[in-house]
């Protein structure tokens, strides 16, 4: 049986210089603490998703910056466990928690049910992201889109595609000239979306 790649494998932090290597170790430990025990609606361990996002960032989008890869690994940490913010801050600093908060829906941070206004607020929040945070969110969409067919909830699949066409695909297109990784992310996301449309997902 083939084991899934671990956060340490995908971050590749053993090749990083210090102090980035130590931050990689801390980020891996945090990811294991926060994501372990949570399951995606596809029935798979939640940690598989952020690990795949890091893989996309490194292998497909050409991201090599240590802090960006750590951000990718922890991008859903506050969505899964908003109460983990002090722990992340104590291990990695408040700068990364501010970045994670900027990438997390407000209703998740506030631990309340989603309300009608939240969709528009999230659209605006995503539109205000910096280039690196947007790159992580596009890598997240790429992985979610590839995994969408495994979701047992047709309504969730439909909502995902609506959000993709209204928010993420336009932002990806608008950001193409910001950096080479964002250009690649735009191309990959559009190609994956076209495949989903043709497959009738």
Q: What is the pLDDT of residues 47-75, one digit of tens each?
A: 999 999 999 999 999 999 999 999 999 99
* CB of 181 closer than 8 Å to CB of 187: no
Mean pLDDT highest for which of 2-16, 29-43, 128-142?
A: 128-142
**What average pLDDT does range 7-29 have in this prediction?**
90
Whole-angstrom distance, CA of residue 152 vs CA of residue 6: 26
Average pLDDT, the chain: 93
pLDDT range class, residue 1, cuts 50, 70, 90: very low
Look at residue 75 in the predicted model and tell me its pLDDT.
98
Look at residue 4 in the predicted model and tell me its pLDDT.
67
CA of 79: how far to CAs of 25, 74, 112, 196, in Å? 22, 10, 12, 26
């Amino acid at each position: 049986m083939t084991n899934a790649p671990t956060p340490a494998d995908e971050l590749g932090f053993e090749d990083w210089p210090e102090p980035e290597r130590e931050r990689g170790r801390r980020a891996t430990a945090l990811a294991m603490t926060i994501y372990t025990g949570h399951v995606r609606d596809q029935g798979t361990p939640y940690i598989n998703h952020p690990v795949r996002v890091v893989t996309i960032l490194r292998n497909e989008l050409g991201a090599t910056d240590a802090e960006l890869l750590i951000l990718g690994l922890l991008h859903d940490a506050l969505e899964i466990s908003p109460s983990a913010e002090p722990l992340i801050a104590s291990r990695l600093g408040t700068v990364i928690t501010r970045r994670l908060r900027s990438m997390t829906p407000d209703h998740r941070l506030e631990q309340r049910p989603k309300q009608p206004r939240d969709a528009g607020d999230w659209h605006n929040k995503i539109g205000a992201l910096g280039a690196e945070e947007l790159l992580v969110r596009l890598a997240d969409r790429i992985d979610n889109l590839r995994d969408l067919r495994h979701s047992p909830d047709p309504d969730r699949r439909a909502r995902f595609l609506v959000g993709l066409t209204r928010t993420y695909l336009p932002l990806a297109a608008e950001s193409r000239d910001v950096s080479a990784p964002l250009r690649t992310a735009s191309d990959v996301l559009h190609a994956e979306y076209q495949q989903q449309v043709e497959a009738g997902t």
